[in-house]
Amino acid sequence: MDLATVWFVLVAVLWVGYLALEGFDFGVGMLTRGFARGDRERRVLINTIGPVWDGNEVWMITAVGATFAAFPEWYATAWAAYYAPLVVILMSLIVRGLAFEYRAKHDTERWRRWWDRAIFWGSAVPAFTWGVLLAGFVQGLPLDGRHDFTGGLADIVTPYTMLGGAVTVVLSLLHGAHYVALKTVGDIRLRARALAGRLAAPVALLAAGFAGWTLLDRDGGPMSWLAWLGGVGLVVALIAGRAAIVQRSEGWAFTASFTAMVFFGVVLFASLYPNVLPSTTDVGGLTIANAASSDYTLTVITWVAVPFVPLVVAYQTWVYWMFRRRIGVQHIPSP
Amino acid sequence: MDVVDLARWQFGITTVVHYFFVPFTISMAFLVAIMQTMWMRTQDERWLRLTKFFGKLLLINLAVGVVTGLVQEFQFGLNWSDFSRFVGDIFGAPLAMEALLAFYLESVFVGVWIFGWGRIPPKIHLATIWVTAFATLLSAYFILAANSFMQNPVGYEINEEAGRAELTDFGAVLTNKVTLVTFPHTIFAAFMVGGAVVAGVAMWHLVKGRREPTAAEPGAPSDAITFRHALRIGAVAVLIGGVGAAVSGDLQGKVMTEVQPMKMAAAEALYDTQQPAPFSLFTVGSLDGSQALYSIEIPYLLSFLSTGSFQGEVQGINDIQQEYEQLYGPGDYTPNIPATYWTFRLMVGFGGLAAAIAAWQLWSTRRGRVPTSVWALRATVVLPFLPLAANTFGWVFTEMGRQPWLVFGLMPTASGVTPGSTAGGVFATLASFTVLYAGLTVLWVWLLAKHARPGLPDVSAEARWGRSSAGEDGSSAGDAAAGSGDDDAADRPLTFAY
């Protein structure tokens, strides 16, 4: 495997890590509306992800930074093409991040209501839009000879990418429900379990539909065996998660939806390989080979990534262990 | 306005606003870490109260700094995709390393710090704020290394076939002489921001408490002593930052004269080469800066600033322009002179004024004194904004002074813009970002003021937690609190929650 391929794998791992981690905190954010009963429960939900959401989001920042360093052409073409949806994502993530920190910093009903909206929409909108954009990588975009995007929004918003967005939202929601069941005590935990049980079948159906569409459309690629494995794994993991939550094994249910997110990423990136952004015209497609940085640059960043990626995983895991205790309404201090 | 101008405004506005929060975070993280360390060492509750009080301001600021930083990671691709293609092989590496080495550390450990109060061993908790603080420095270094490449490209070669600059020596990029002088300058200047916030807020409470003793909250006398500690720390930080920024800025001027002489000439609006060259403090001139009508000048000073010698020759704009025409072909190689001239002076002026106020604060509060005039009160309110303005003008100067280059000598700004982008499209996002960022800035000032106004917080819960494991190896209390949860403490409310 050459270094450029190693970096394709690493970028994929970073995106998959992002989906699997921020996926559940997006899910928790969406559960603050409708699911949570009253302000105290909403605060329970927010506090389950309070110490960790920011670290989860860095997976995306790093994925983007790694793309810039290892595949400047991919970075340049993709973000210029995805301009409008990206601005929507960025603005949503801005208000969401502020909402967590600012919600409790002023004590009026109206203030909290606005930040609650920010948390809900700031979680749902990026989850959906990232799904659209990642599916868009697989689908491809109209590019010209120098890899510039020549299309419009209609080339990004297609039935396939919309399904990708929807699957990301429902997977996040299920993942979030498992996380809440795992991290809370009391009534909220029971309801999270029940909700996860009800969500499992429709989520599996949608996910299977998306995986099937991707696999049939992209069959014959050099890594299609892995993509197939991912598709099957995705559905199996969702079924296993449903079995676990019925058995009240919340840890296993969370592990299952985490794995489902990973397999969802595997479907996407294995179908994409060896492209990074295929063109829907005859020219301009970006591949691992023609989008990559020079060997020297790849060597330098590899030397940095080899020790530091495992280190990041280690200390982030430690933080989850540190905050492993469940919380419930009784733990929420009065404002 | 064309696409290039709009794209520049968008980058400028989003980055300048982001940089309101960055120096605040860097310096305040260290100042809060120092306060918490003092508490751990002395077990004196006053330090704990200061830690919690200024820690809250740090978090209000950090949140908005983090979220506006998200935009930075993408915006080289949004409007500047040809720039990203051309320098990505070099420029991407420090950005990726910033994320991997620094931003993870900062984001993960600040979460532990925020939620760790009362839940994890106090010594580990203290370590997390130090880790966060050092991560901000590391972050700054990588970002400045990337920026310095744009000021003074090093460690690369042009690959004609691929049409891009490629990295040949990463060590050279990290030890770019511009980075080496810009990093200390940036960090010293950052310390003026946090120091000014601490000193301003602390002295506001002191003066307010003395002016309106009836309005003071219960326990005010001890608050006054505590705020006096904070005032000292803050004012000293401003002074050290000020002196450091001046000294490093002087070194920076000499490097700039060497690698970007046009920027130095533009800073002084020096059209003709002079030896020795004076420094003008203030000029009334025609709007385009081409003609001086009235000017206060200090002889020899510019020569000294640029070359280190009072007799040194300083190249003028016209000579450099001619030289560049020969080197790079016909074109206008001068930046916007009034902008560079004035931003340079505003940077120095606001920074100097902040240092002067900090010195006055120390003098006027010596040996238990507290000034009570309304001007003293006003000065404390103004103080935090001065270094912030100096930081902003410094960046506007250095980035506008690089124009018309995007990457000095290699890529003109206009060539870096995303091909096919339309003025209407960029205007729409520029307007959206401007409205959102204006809202964020107002919210930020309002929330900071709101939380700076009340007296020091009650910290009995944190103090108990700190004491319970003092003297031991600092693990028992935290382990009990973080444990499986069927002990007595299981249903106690969290010490901190959103």
User: For residues A141 and A149, is the Cβ–Cβ distance under 8 A?
Assistant: yes
Whether residues B498 and A322 touch (CB distance < 8 A) is answered with no
Question: Where is pLDDT greater, at B2 or B288?
Answer: B2
Separation of alpha carbons A236 and A234, rounded Å: 6
ipTM: 0.94
Nearest chain B alpha carbon to A84 = B429
**Which among A50, A58, A325 has the least Cβ separation from residue B498?**
A50
Name the amino acid, one letter, at B467.
R
State what percent of residues in chain B have pLDDT above 90. 72
User: If we measure between CA atoms, which residue out of B70, B92, B71 comes closest to residue B83?
Assistant: B92
Range of the domain at A83: 3-331
Residues of chain B neighbouring A57 (CB-CB closer than 8 A) = 70, 107
CA distance B355 to chain A (A): 32
In chain A, which residues have their Cβ closer than 8 Å to the Cβ of B485? 325-326
**Angstrom distance (rounded) from CA B448 to CA A105:** 10
Q: How many residues appear in chain A?
A: 335
Of B85, B492, B498, the CB nearest to A73: B85
| DSSP assignment string, A262-318 | HHHHHHHHHHHTTEEE-BSSSS--EEHHHH---HHHHHHHHHHHHHHHHHHHHHHHH
Give the count of beta carbons closer than 10 Å to the beta carbon of residue B363: 11
Q: What is the pLDDT of residue B295?
A: 76
Q: Does A83 contact B425 at a Cβ distance shorter than 8 Å?
A: yes
Distance of CA B445 to the CA centre of its chain: 16
pLDDT (average), residues B133-146? 97
| Residue indicated by tokens 């060896």 | A274
Cβ <8 Å between A58 and B104: yes
CB contact under 8 A, B492 and A331: yes
pLDDT digits (tens, 9 = 90+) for B180-217: 999 999 999 999 999 999 999 999 999 888 887 665 55
Overall domain count for chain A: 1
Question: What is d(CA A186, CA B78) in angstroms, rounded to the nearest whole number?
Answer: 46
**Bridge partners for A149 per DSSP:** A143
| Chain A environment of B87 (Cβ under 8 Å) | 72
pLDDT score at A17 = 96
Residue B60 has pLDDT above 60, yes or no: yes
Residue of chain B with shortest Cα separation from A99: B63
CA distances for B364 relative to B237, B360, B369, B385, angstroms = 17, 6, 7, 20
Percent of chain B with pLDDT over 70: 92
The pLDDT assigned to B470 comes to: 54
pLDDT at residue B293 is higher than 90: no
8 A C-beta contact, residue A260 and residue A196: no
Residue in the structure block whose two tokens are 């901190």: B496
Could you tell me if B118 and B492 are in contact, meaning their C-beta atoms sit under 8 angstroms apart? no
- Indicate yes or no: CB of B485 within 8 angstroms of CB of A70: no
Instruction: Say if residue B486's pLDDT is above 50.
Output: no
The packing angle between helices B423-452 and B177-211, to 10°, is 40
pLDDT in tens, B389-428: 999 999 999 999 999 999 999 999 999 999 988 999 999 9
Closest Cα to residue A276, out of A267, A287, A265? A287
Using a 10 angstrom Cβ sphere, with 0-12 exposed, 13-18 middle and 19 or more buried, the burial of residue A33 is middle
* C-alpha span between A95 and A79 (Å, rounded): 21
Q: Distances in Å between the alpha carbon of A24 and those of A21, A88, A293, B299, B438? A: 6, 20, 33, 65, 31
pLDDT, one tens digit per residue, over B249-286 is: 999 999 999 999 999 999 988 888 888 888 887 777 66
Q: How far apart, in whole angstroms, are the C-alpha atoms of residue A112 and residue A118?
A: 10
What was the pLDDT predicted at B276? 83
Distance, in Å, from the CA atom of A47 to the CA atom of A32, rounded to the nearest integer, reads: 11
Please answer whether residues B242 and B274 qualify as being in contact, where contact means their C-beta atoms are separated by less than 8 angstroms.
no
Closest CA to A299 of B158, B73, B168: B168
d(Cα A208, Cα A230) in Å, to the nearest integer? 11
Pairing of strands B279-285, B292-298: antiparallel
CB contact under 8 A, B111 and A61: no
Write out residues in chain A with pLDDT < 50, as ranges: none
DSSP SS3 for B158: strand
Backbone angles phi, psi at B406, to 5 degrees: -90, -50
Count residue pairs from A and B with Cβ separation < 8 A. 249
> B495 vs A149: CB contact, 8 Å cut-off?
no
State the number of CA atoms in the 13 A half-sphere of B317 facing the CB: 20
CB-based contact A100 B63, cutoff 8 Å: yes
**A223 Cβ contact list (under 8 Å, min separation 6):** A270, A271, A273, A274
DSSP of B49-74, one letter per residue?
Answer: HHHHHHHHHHHHHHHHHHHHHHHHHH
| Closest CA–CA distance from residue A12 to any residue of chain B (Å) | 15
Per-residue pLDDT averaged across B164-171, rounded? 96
Query: What Rg, from alpha-carbon coordinates, does chain B have?
Result: 25
On the question of pLDDT at B92 being above 50, the answer is yes
Distance between CA atoms of residues B182 and B139, nearest Å? 14
Token pair listed for B279: 């420094």
Residue found by looking up tokens 């019925």 in the block: A246
| Closest approach of A80 to chain B, Cα-based (Å) | 5
B170 contacts in chain A (CB < 8 Å): 296-297, 300
Residue A38, phi-psi category: left (phi > 0), alpha (psi -120 to 50), beta (remainder): left
Instruction: Pick B93's closest partner by Cβ from A69, A326, A330.
Output: A69
- Residue B66 tokens, joined: 């983090």
- Chain A closest-CA separation from residue B107 CA (Å): 5
The enclosing domain of A52 has a CATH number of 1.20.1630.10
Question: Which pLDDT band holds residue B288 (cuts at 50, 70, 90)?
Answer: low
Mean pLDDT (whole number) for B296-324: 87
Whether A322 and B419 lie within 8 Å, measured CB to CB: no
Would you state the pLDDT for residue B481? 46
Supply the DSSP symbol for B295: E
